[in-house]
Amino acid sequence: MRMSRRSGLLVSSAVCGTLVLGAAGTAVASRITGDARQTVTTAPVAAPLPDASALLKQVAALKGQTAVLAPVTDLLNAVLGADGGKLPADQLTQKKEAVDRAIAAAQQSRPTKSATRPGDTRAADLKASALVDLKARIDALVKAVTSGDPAAIGTALTGALTGAVNVVLALTLDSGLPAPDLPGLPSLPKG
């Protein structure tokens, strides 16, 4: 018996479809008819996480730190990667403006309610002080890069990096994040 090519394709497709959908069709039909012997189990509803909203605020605080640090590290990497630390003026201006915008945005953000107690403004003061200090250190770096003195650039890079570390610590203290508990770390001031 000879079969045309088109008929062969149709027959083989129909057979494959029947094999694949046959088991699924039977399963669907038994659910639709409500077979009493079959019980459908569902996963239990999970209880909400305790303090989820507070934890979400802490995660957002961690993410907020990168908003300040990303342009700073971008500037530091550009200076370190440039020949002799000398960036073209337009690139230096562009990166400096990005840092200034990030610092201004961080200065506008408010501390979380869990970070400071009424009347306790130490963490907020540290944050403001660290951001002003970082801005001054970045300005010193830009001035050193503009002058082209490698020794001054190296000193200014170290100062800017230290300023960034100060901002990390100040933002951490101001954010309401839990205190670190890694053995060997120096103790942090109690808020």
Model pLDDT, residue 93: 94
Angstrom distance (rounded) from CA 135 to CA 18: 71
Please state the rounded mean pLDDT for residues 95-107. Answer: 92
**21 or 99, greater pLDDT:** 99
Contact 174, 125 (CB under 8 A): no
Percent share of the chain, pLDDT over 70: 64
**Residue tagged 């342009």 (tokens):** 71
| Ranges assigned E (strand) in the chain | none
Contact 95, 75 (CB under 8 A): yes
Q: At what angle do helices 122-147 and 52-81 cross, to 10 degrees?
A: 20
Q: Give start-end residues of each CATH 1.20.120 domain in the chain.
A: 52-174
Query: Hey, what CATH class is 52-174 in?
Result: mainly alpha
Q: What is the pLDDT of residues 13-38, one digit of tens each?
A: 665 566 566 655 565 555 555 555 55
Model pLDDT, residue 89: 92
Model pLDDT, residue 135: 95
Those residues with Cβ within 8 angstroms of residue 69's Cβ, 6 or more apart along the chain or in another chain: 164, 167, 168
Angstrom distance (rounded) from CA 173 to CA 121: 11
Q: Specify the pTM.
A: 0.63
